[in-house]
Structure 1
Amino acid sequence: MSSEKQERLLKRRPEIIVGTPGRLWELMSGGNEHLVELHSLSFFVLDEADRMIENGHFRELQSIIDMLPATENSTEQSPQTSESCKTIPNLQRKKRQTFVFSATIALSDNFCKKLMRSSSTSKSAFVDGLSSIETLSRRAGMRADAAIIDLTNASIMTNNLEESFIECKEEDKEAYLYYILSIYGQGRTIVFCTSIAALRRISSLLRILGIHVWTLHAQMQQRARLKAIDRFRGNEHAVLVATDVAARGLDIHGVRTVVHYQLPHSAEVYIHRSGRTARASADGCCIAMISPSDKTKFVSLCKSMSKESLRQFPLDDTYMPEMIKRMSLARQIDKILQKSSQEKAKKSWFQRNAESVELAVEDSDSEDETVKGRKLKKNTSIQLKELQQELNDLLRRPLQPRTFSHRFLAGAGISPLVQKQLEQLSKRKTSDKNYSKEKRTGLMVIGQDCIEPLQALRTSGHEVCVNLDKARETRRVAENLKRKRREEKKRTREQLRKEKKRAKEGTD
């Protein structure tokens, strides 16, 4: 963002400043008067401490910490600190309180002992980087008797978050994502990808299918990022497709669902991604899409978070043929559009470079090749229009299961979700004495598209064991029980046969 604008804002001398280490150090080293008055600092807060100590990241943080005035109980002081505090009398210095926050870092039991031990080391330790949470805390002026407040529950994730997963083939992931956004498209949804290429492909397909999505990734300019977030925040049922740049720092009210389209590489990223929903005592759900190649990563992810079981997201497979048909048309349209876009970009690049070196570009194609190219372009245009018309015809029709009957409700089979909605409707009719014809609406929609993913999960989701060792043990116990029952039945049959044989011999 514009540093000039930030400098103008700092002239107003704000009491609270929130910034990243890079820009903050840039303004501090530039001599901004308000930022170098650190003797009057009351609170120093380090958020996302696990990211701050990552190797090769946030090197400016070390310089910022070195600029802080020494606390009363501090025994060591860096040269930069002593120079910055030479002209400041001790009486003018405020008592500073330091806070270190993290959602995914685990402190050791002897954290305070390590803090005390590191504070008594030699001054040469100051040349080292911020390699651990103890080093970071000590350098920030935290005393050895620091208070440690652990708000982590046993399940690591917040209790209001419902976790679930969907098992599907890799080539069907896009269709299942379209299923979630179409059937359960209530509330704001964030779809996370690990690669920008996957993000662009998904967002393009969803737009072709008529779903308005916003994107957020590292290659976007800051203005475009802020615009996408504002529009996502302004729509109650918006969809944001993002990479892991959106996993931290976004606090958007009303995010009901997080979809892990591609699994993250670590449990920390999974926790931060899922934490975009179920914030501030609200509830929410996250859905992980698991392909056969993701199973090993998913199992290790659950193991690292001590997950014994997870809910499997309820799916109605009778919708999938229609979903796959629509997605197939969208892929064909996207392929034609991408090819056309690449050809235009290539031609534009060639002409631009030719103009830069002042070369005249002549068409070297023969007349036959030109005619052939025009004919191919015309055929492609006709094919594109036909595909778009076919897709538009499908999109005009409401999504219905394959077994849907226009005459009888039970023709499609009443799902548990529809059953629950019918029960709630009947209760409302019987309990509300003032329920009259005048108050009835002209049309009441009953079906899966009326509810949020969280409600569907709580109503129809079932627990599945994700601990392989426990699953093997459960399978072994079940097999032993079956074997014992078979052996018992075999003994019973053998005993009955012997008794019949004895009875027959006795009558003879």
Structure 2
Amino acid sequence: MPSPEDASTSTAPTVTFKSLGLIDPLLEAVDHLNYKTPTEIQAEVLPHALEGRDIIGVASTGSGKTAAFALPILQKLWEEPKGLFACVLAPTRELAYQISQQFEALGSAMGVRCTVLVGGLDMISQATSLAKKPHIVVATPGRLNDHLENTKGFSLRSLKYLVLDEADRLLDMDFGIAIDQILKVIPKERTTYLFSATMTTKVAKLQRASLSNPVRVEVSTKYSTVSTLLQYYLFIPLVHKDVNLVYLVNSLVQNSIIIFTGTVQNAMRISIILRTLGFAAVPLHGQLSQSARLGALGKFKSGGRKILVATDVASRGLDIPSVDIVINFDIPHHSKDYIHRVGRTARAGRSGKSITLVSQYDVELLQRIETVLEKKMELWPTDKEEVALLRERVDEASRLAINELKDQNANGKGGHGRKRGSDATGGRDDRDRDDDVVQQGMPARKKKKGGR
């Protein structure tokens, strides 16, 4: 005989977007985007947000929090369609564009207009976009302040909503002063949403300064990885990291892969090594121009490139569907950075794998991560003979990469990859002809002289 608790659970109504109170245009949008049922953060936030309350949302990456704050803002905009309505602050340019795209997709039936204000792009074209009276501005704090100070006719005096997304990272990246300046020039009478993966002392201070009697919604009290993620490590001497990475990529070549590095230099170097060996790799890091960064991301998301070599600029907030494998070439120094990196795969209930390269100098970092996760990673099996067969070719590619980077620096081209063609911006170069090699994997033998 079922207990009373079982009976109440079995008869509990299923939460739907309609039962949460969304209007028809938004119900059509979520249906079109194939959002079947609300995520935990959406189900918790929407009732309070639709009542007009300030919200503190504590939720991990990949939890669906963008829709959690976008839907109530769009619903209120439908009821009161006037002027600049909401401003969303994001820590990175890529995340700002992604948030804007989600607002436009969810508000497609309403004709919502969004403008993105980020560094690295022309302020004049952004000012022109602002003159067209957008409903939503999504911005990085520094560039928003630039426009508040320098763009004639632009202000936030009529703002109804302020969203601080990834607040812990906004503050980690020293945007605190810029955010303080923004808070001084926006109306006190407004609704504020603050979303963060962690509640640090800095975030708590920001909360007190910017929110009024907020509702706190917390759906992940502990930093953890999802159960559908299989986590492995590969223990190798530091001098053999490059060849073991190529071995991994070669054996996993049919999958979409993100390789995370700790430095811009390594991101550039590894992407050149992989392209030299015939793999369709594209770099993403902070020294690329904004158009190159968006182009790299677009190429990877569309499947035009199967391998993204990235710094932590790609580790948080970005929703890249169908990433099969995350490889940590450089093990991160902080456990939360590891969790954000591997969170790029095994999203929305899908399975995924992560493999972390661990040298003799990284053992303590691995143990720290395992302690936080409360689980041991498994050793990834390798074929040492195959690795040995690849070594000569990888060493040669490494030398070529170092020389190419020296040439780029000498010519003042930095990390934009122009010498090797516009791979990062989605253009084609002579290495695109090797895409058929990529689908087959790299044969473990030395090519004839003159071959790639």
Q: TM-score, normalised by structure 2?
A: 0.60
Of 304, 307, 310, which aligns to 1:242? 310
**Deviation (angstroms), 1:185:** 2.0
When residues 202 and 55 of structure 1 are mapped into structure 2, their CA distance, relative to the original with a 3 A threshold, is closer
The CA distance in 2 between the partners of 1:340 and 1:20, in whole Å, is: 33
List per-residue Cα deviations over 1:444-480 (Å, max 9, x = no partner): xxxxxxxxxxxxxxxxxxxxxxxxxxxxxxxxxxxxx
SS of the equivalent of 1:17 reads strand
Distance 1:397 1:236, change over 3 A: closer
Q: Which residue of 2 aligns with 1:284?
A: 352
1:264 aligns with 2:332: yes
Match of 2:394 in 1: 330
Q: Which residue of 1 aligns with 2:378?
A: 311
Radius of gyration: which is bigger? 1
Aligned to 1:99: 193
Residue type at the aligned position of 2:180: Q
Q: What is the Cα deviation at residue 199 of structure 1?
A: 2.2
Aligned pair 1:67/2:149, yes or no? no
Match of residue 135 from structure 1: 205
User: Deviation at 1:23?
Assistant: 1.0
Gap regions ≥5 residues in structure 1: 72-95, 108-130, 350-391, 401-508
Q: Deviations over 1:324-352 (max 9, x none)?
A: 33232232254267558858986x89xxx
CA distance in 2, matches of 1:23, 1:337: 34
Distance in 2, Cα, partners of 1:337 & 1:97: 51
Alignment-mate amino acid for residue 216 of structure 2:
I
Q: 1:154 to 1:23 in 2, by over 3 A?
A: closer
Alignment partners' CA distance in 1, 2:278 and 2:442: 13
Equivalent-residue separation in structure 2 for 1:205 and 1:54 (angstroms): 32
AA of the residue aligned to 1:172: H
2:145 to 25, 29, 51: 25
Secondary structure of 1:226's aligned partner: helix
Does the C-alpha gap of structure 1 residues 229 and 149 become closer, same or farther in structure 2, counting only changes over 3 Å?
A: same
> For residues 222 and 442 of structure 2, what CA distance do their matches in structure 1 show?
47
Aligned equivalent of 2:40: none
CA distance in 2, matches of 1:286, 1:340: 30
Match of 1:455 in 2: none
What whole-Å deviation, never above 9, does each CA across 1:256-290 have from its counterpart, x for those lacking one?
21111101121222122122222333332221111
What is the correspondence of 1:358-437 to structure 2 with a 5 Å cutoff?
Answer: 398=443
Unaligned residue ranges in structure 2 (runs of 5+) = 1-120, 413-436, 446-452
What is the rounded CA distance, in whole Å, between the counterparts of 2:441 and 2:253 in structure 1?
17
Matched residue type, 1:332: E
Query: What is the CA distance between 1:14 and its match in structure 2?
Result: 2.0
Measure, in 2, the Cα distance between the counterparts of 1:344 and 1:244.
23
- The equivalent position to 1:10 in structure 2, one of 130, 144, 160, is 130
How far is the alpha carbon of 1:216 from its aligned partner?
1.3
The alignment's TM-score, normalised by the length of structure 1, stands at 0.53
Q: Deviations over 1:361-387 (max 9, x none)?
A: xxxxxxxxxxxxxxxxxxxxxxxxxxx
CA-atom RMSD in angstroms: 3.0
User: How far did residue 19 of structure 1 move?
Assistant: 0.9
Contact kept, 8 Å, 2:316 with 2:341, in 1: the verdict is yes
Instruction: Return the offset for 1:201.
Output: 2.7
Matched AA of 1:99: Y
Q: Distance in 1 between matches of 2:228 and 2:408?
A: 49
Between the aligned partners of 1:316 and 1:52, the Cα distance in structure 2 is 40
- SS in structure 2 opposite 1:101? strand
* Aligned partner of residue 124 in structure 2, secondary structure: helix
Bigger fraction of residues in helix:
1
Contact 1:163 1:311 in 2 (8 A): yes
Report SS of the residue matched to 1:9: helix
Is 2:219 aligned against 1:151? Answer: yes
**Deviation at residue 310 of structure 1 after TM alignment:** 2.3
Contact between 2:171 and 2:203, CA under 8 Å: does it hold in 1? yes
SS of aligned partner of 2:192 = strand
Point out the structure with the larger strand share. 2
Rounded to whole Å, the distance in 2 between the matches of 1:252 and 1:221 is: 20
The alignment partner of 2:137 has SS state of coil
What secondary structure, in the 3-state scheme, does the structure 1 residue paired with 2:339 have?
Answer: helix
Aligned residue for 2:226, secondary structure, equals coil
Q: CA deviation at 1:297?
A: 1.4
Separation of aligned partners in 2, 1:137 and 1:337: 46
1:255 is paired with a residue whose SS is coil
Whether the 8 Å contact between 1:164 and 1:285 is mirrored in structure 2 is yes
Single out whichever of 260-269 and 276-285 deviates more from structure 2: 276-285
Tell me the matched-pair count.
299
User: Who is 1:438 aligned against?
Assistant: none
